[in-house]
Structure 1
Amino acid sequence: MIRILAAGALAACLALPLQAQDRGAIESTIRAQMEAFLARDVDEAFTYASPTIRQLFGTPENFGRMVQQGYPMVWDNRELRFLGIRPEAGGYVQSLILRDPQGVTHVLDYLMIETDAGWQINGVSIVPAPGVGV
């Protein structure tokens, strides 16, 4: 019964609109990490990752290699624009558009969680372009 109440309370909290200050903090976290990547400061970029992500990669260098190889549009990001935000998976998903150095646009979803250190990035997904399929 306690689990059901706890789950209901969590769902009710996530159903509440995100406060403007939290939206601003989420955007600031993402922007700061993007700037750190452009400066090639992987130590700084790593600080914006959640404890789960930091534990998964272990070192800023491992994390930086993963971003450089798996998310080149984040590593060399240009023209960041924020889209909508929605509650999901114990946090919020902030959608955004990035333009890479070649001028190609990419849509990404950032899973953001609130920790004792503030809002942190708990995962990033590349959103497939609409109408593209196999």
Structure 2
Amino acid sequence: EVSVFSNIKSKIAMIGPITIADYMREVLTNPKAGYYMKNDVFGVHGDFITSPEISQLFGEILAVWTICEWQKLGQPFPCQLIELGPGRGTMMLDILRVYEKLNIAGNTNSLSIHLVEISRAMSHF
């Protein structure tokens, strides 16, 4: 199996110096050996924990902020809510719980939810 280090070394040998963005992309999202591609890295058994995993307050406050911004725009529908790198989807669940309590987007056709996850391991949650 080829390591991420070997891939980076080969790439530099072929094209010369790489950007920090290219380096980070390789070490984090390489399909075979990238950090986020291997398994669940969050929580008690993972390497770190994120704010939404500690408390639902983070997602709830974010929900209130998004509602305020949406109202400033004149409450347009349809509306898209997109989360990049949702992991287990904890934050989105917290946001949607607030939306449900406040009857935001009561019509199911008026709000479109998109979770964009690069990790296959995390996309199964």
TM interval, short-chain normalised: 0.3 to 0.5
Structure with greater strand share of residues: 1
TM-score (norm 1): 0.32
Flag the structure with more relative contact order, 1 or 2, with Cα contacts below 8 A and sequence separation at least 6. Answer: 2
Structure whose CA Rg is larger? 2
TM-score (norm 2): 0.33
